[in-house]
Each structure stands twice: as structure tokens, then as C-alpha cells.
Amino acid sequence: MSKIDQKHSNSKLPLRVGVTGGIGSGKTTVCRIFESLGVPIYYADDRAKAIMTENETVVKKVKELFGTQAYLANGTLNRPFIAGIVFHDKKMLESLNAIVHPAVFEEGERWNEEQTGAPYTIKEAALLFESGGYKKLDKVITVFAPQELRIERVMKRDGVSEEAVLARIKNQMADEEKIKLADFVIYNDGKHSLVQQIWQIHQEISSLADTKK
């Protein structure tokens, strides 16, 4: 049985494709183009942020881990407080991830089951390789852009310093590793056409999904 068949005992489910890449590589930009082709997208990082205030079980566990200071009086997450802790304490980051990742995964699975008409869906997440989440997907696309360009784009987008972007890059897996693990690479380096690359991958994955049915 092929890798895809093994993961898809229920053939009505869409194939599950991941889009990942380092900070500022262009994941969201790439996903917007897939979205324009009609591909349903689950923005896992955005949902993780939302789940941390919406999901009562998650909120309870986060408070147990960090104390009630983890949330502001209006119920929103006290991001600077949490970031201040997890940035310097790897164990606390792992504990936070152990609360949030399974909740996001479960929600993503339920969401995928609802996309019955689509040949494939995309899950966009920055740390698909680092978290091991890629193993549960059928195909993974990594978006590559040179570091200088990523730094420039994120500084402009978020109004942050070069040091702040570099600090986040340092916490992520190296691009070469991501490229080795990926099934497809999209080069968002200003030299290759994004639309052309995405169209080609879209055709390939759509026909894979067809042969599965």
C-alpha cells in the first residue's frame, strides 16, 4: 500500500498537504494563491492563537502552567508575558506546545473532514517540520526565500529590528534541512514566478488525489 493509501483509508477525505517555511519566507502569500485556485486552507498558526483564548480546556491548562497573569482582564492572551517566559525557557515552550498543538491538530482534522468536495486541502504552519506535524500529512511544500530577503520583508511588514527577525530565524530549522524533508519547494526569491510554480504543484497534487479515488 502506498504512503498516501495508508493515510487515507477513507477515500472521500481530501489529501492533506502542508505548507511551511521560515519566518517571512512567504507561506501566507503562497497560500493566498492556492486559495484563489479554490484550495481550502487551514491557517494553523492563526488558529493556534485563537484557540488559546477560545478553547476553555486550553485556557485552563495555560493558566495552570503560567498563572492567571497569562490572560488580561478582558480575556485576551497576555502575549508579552508569555513570550517573555517561553523565549528564554525551552521547557516552558515545550509545555505550552504540548497544550496547544494537540488542540490545533484535532481542530484541523475535523476541519479537513468537512472539506469533502476538495481533492486536497492545505495546512499552513511555520513549524511543521520542527513539531513533527509533517508526518501526518500526505505531501509537504516548503517555501524558500533567501535570508536577507526574509529579514527585509519582515522588518517592513512588522516594523521590527533585524535582530528580532534573526532571533526568530535562529529558533527555526535550517532551510537546507526543510528542503531535504519537503516533497515540493517553492522558490519565493523574486526570480522565480510564484504563480507558475504553484500552478504546476496544484496540477500534480490534484492528479495524485484523482488516482487515489
Residues in contact with ligand ATP by the rule CB under 6 A: 21, 23-29, 126, 153-154, 157, 188, 194
- Min separation Cβ 188 and ligand ATP, Å: 5
Going from the C-alpha of 105 to that of each of 108, 112, 130, 174, 188, the distances in angstroms are 5, 10, 15, 24, 27
Nearer to ligand ATP, 126 or 182 (CB): 126
Nearer to ligand ATP, 62 or 126 (CB): 126
Nearer to ligand ATP, 48 or 82 (CB): 48
**What does the alpha-carbon distance between residue 207 and residue 81 come to, in Å, rounded to a whole number?**
47
75: left (phi over 0), alpha (psi -120 to 50) or beta: left
Q: Beta partners for 60? A: none
Nearer to ligand ATP, 60 or 156 (CB): 156
- Min separation Cβ 7 and ligand ATP, Å: 26
Nearer to ligand ATP, 26 or 133 (CB): 26
The burial of 147, by beta-carbon neighbours within 10 Å (0-12 exposed, 13-18 middle, 19 or more buried), is given as: middle
Evaluate whether 42 touches 122 at the Cβ level (below 8 Å): yes
Query: Could you tell me which of 59, 61, 64 has the C-alpha nearest to residue 75?
Result: 59
- Min separation Cβ 55 and ligand ATP, Å: 22
- Min separation Cβ 194 and ligand ATP, Å: 6
> How many residues are recorded in the chain?
213
- Min separation Cβ 210 and ligand ATP, Å: 29
